[in-house]
Structure 1
Amino acid sequence: MPTYKHLFFDLDHTLWDFERNSAESLSEIYHTFELHNHGILSLGDFVKTFIEINTQLWADFDRGHIAHGFIRENRFRLVFEALNVDNLAVGKDMGEEYLRLLPQKAHLLDGAVELLDYCANKNYQLHIVTNGFDSIQASKMASSGIQQYFEHVITNEKAGAKKPDAQIFEFALRSANARSEESLMIGDNWEADIMGALRFGIDAAFYNPKSLKFEQTPTYDVQHLNELMSIL
């Protein structure tokens, strides 16, 4: 088994519980903006539709089909369209409130803190590689109390590229003064995290709680974060 020195983590859906934190934020928005008075009668439908559309938008971003700004400016409009709501004037307020609330949420995925403590005690050098926004990701890490674990936080804004582009992995290694053969990428996104790292020559651990199957085999495939402790 390779001897790793540097561990590069994705943040959302890998350590930070995006679904739970987003659902809490959306619930607050639903009640604050009284969306039940605008034809959205089910909070559950609102949250479910948002998650589906937001997931697709981020997938489009990862593939280079849209820009960051498009996600911020259009996701709530697309949600309302999907819910057949045409009597709601959608301004920037709702999107801005979501971006204010979301990073304040602190829920982490099960086993995240235990894994980070384990890695820190083993003297691994830990870093984040994310396609998220600089300020938003920094707030998420501060709110959930994990910022102290990481030496570098690599974003597409800093690197001038996004996962799975080779440029962001090159930037990450250079920033950390790391070599590919002593590095491991850990993430939940098959294309952005796993294939991006493997194509660049970095081993990749696929956090795969739904046991998804792909043609190529990652270096490691785990269904729970605690499984990584037996690997590292």
Structure 2
Amino acid sequence: MKYKHIFFDLDHTLWDFDRNSSESLEEIFHTLTLQNHGITSMEDFIQCFLKVNLSLWDMFDRGQIHHTYIRQNRFRLVFEDLGIQCPENHEEIGELYLNTLPDKKHLLEGALDLLNYAVATGYRMHIITNGFNEIQARKLAGSQIGHFFENVITFETASAKKPDPKIFEFALNAAQASPEECIMVGDNWIADIMGAKQIGIDTVYLNPAGLQFDEKPTYDIRRLEELLLIL
């Protein structure tokens, strides 16, 4: 084996964030009767949330905003984007979302087969995520994949977030590994790929849309099952 350690991102890489979010938002739409607040289409509500949330996390990865801003403002921004007056309880909607989302169980297609293959082959696996300790732990428990990973490195445990080299150095230290023994698998070009690359860790870019950048990852894949050909 060329590598001994695999570092995985969690959301959008193993854990199906969009599907789990959509399921959570559908429940919230009905529980809070959001159609009474002027949202005529549940589908528009979900798609708008996914767009706004993705933009906010991109700003977070670039160091432009803090986690707290996302938590407190994303539903306000969704209502604004939909052109609807924002209800006063938009932060309560955000809290309900955070209480609902982490217990969803859907993984990306091929994720479980990949993890089973990797552990059977002898790889040591770890998570590096910009999420919160409690929420990421609930996601791993709910989807029943927590036992695959020796370490779950979050921005809280490392006091740094991807793409900061400090979180990758923290992860290497936790795994007692050198960069050349490791490979990073993630869907986020800035946080996962450029972050790992800058300290000499090979990268697998999960890139279903086929995006192109000036620099190249070590490997570029469209689906998780393609990783089986690399490992």
**TM bucket, shorter chain:** over 0.9
Match of 1:114 in 2: 113
Match of 1:224 in 2: 223
Give yes or no for the alignment of 1:191 onto 2:193.
no
Residue identity over aligned pairs, in percent, reads 57
**Structure 1: distance between partners of 2:90 and 2:145:** 33
Match of 1:177 in 2: 176
**Structure 2: distance between partners of 1:92 and 1:229:** 42
Q: Residues 1-232 of structure 1 correspond to what in structure 2 (within 5 A)?
A: 3-86=2-85, 88-232=87-231
**Structure 1: distance between partners of 2:123 and 2:67:** 32
Q: Which amino acid is the alignment partner of residue 217 of structure 2?
A: P
- Residue 7 of structure 2 contacts residue 128 of structure 2 at CA under 8 Å; is this kept in 1? yes
Q: Which amino acid is the alignment partner of residue 22 of structure 1?
A: S
5+ residue gaps, structure 1, are: none
- Residue 79 of structure 2 contacts residue 86 of structure 2 at CA under 8 Å; is this kept in 1? no
**Structure 2: distance between partners of 1:20 and 1:225:** 16
**Structure 2: distance between partners of 1:217 and 1:131:** 23
SS in structure 2 opposite 1:209? coil
- Residue 130 of structure 1 contacts residue 163 of structure 1 at CA under 8 Å; is this kept in 2? yes
**Structure 2: distance between partners of 1:88 and 1:158:** 35
**Structure 1: distance between partners of 2:97 and 2:91:** 10
**Structure 2: distance between partners of 1:90 and 1:50:** 16
**Residues 179 and 87 of structure 1: is their aligned pair in 2 closer, same or farther, counting only changes over 3 Å?**
closer
Residues 110-143 of structure 1 deviation map (CA, whole Å, 9 limit, x = unaligned): 0000000000001100000000111111100100
Q: Which amino acid is the alignment partner of residue 177 of structure 1?
A: Q
Q: CA deviation at 1:88?
A: 2.1
SS in structure 1 opposite 2:216? coil
Q: Which amino acid is the alignment partner of residue 152 of structure 1?
A: N
Q: Which amino acid is the alignment partner of residue 120 of structure 1?
A: V
**Structure 1: distance between partners of 2:155 and 2:78:** 26
**Structure 2: distance between partners of 1:164 and 1:76:** 26
- Residue 76 of structure 2 contacts residue 86 of structure 2 at CA under 8 Å; is this kept in 1? no
Q: TM-score, normalised by structure 1?
A: 0.97
**Structure 1: distance between partners of 2:142 and 2:4:** 27
Q: Which amino acid is the alignment partner of residue 130 of structure 2?
A: N
Aligned-residue Cα RMSD (Å) equals 1.0
Q: Which amino acid is the alignment partner of residue 24 of structure 1?
A: E
**Structure 2: distance between partners of 1:212 and 1:226:** 18
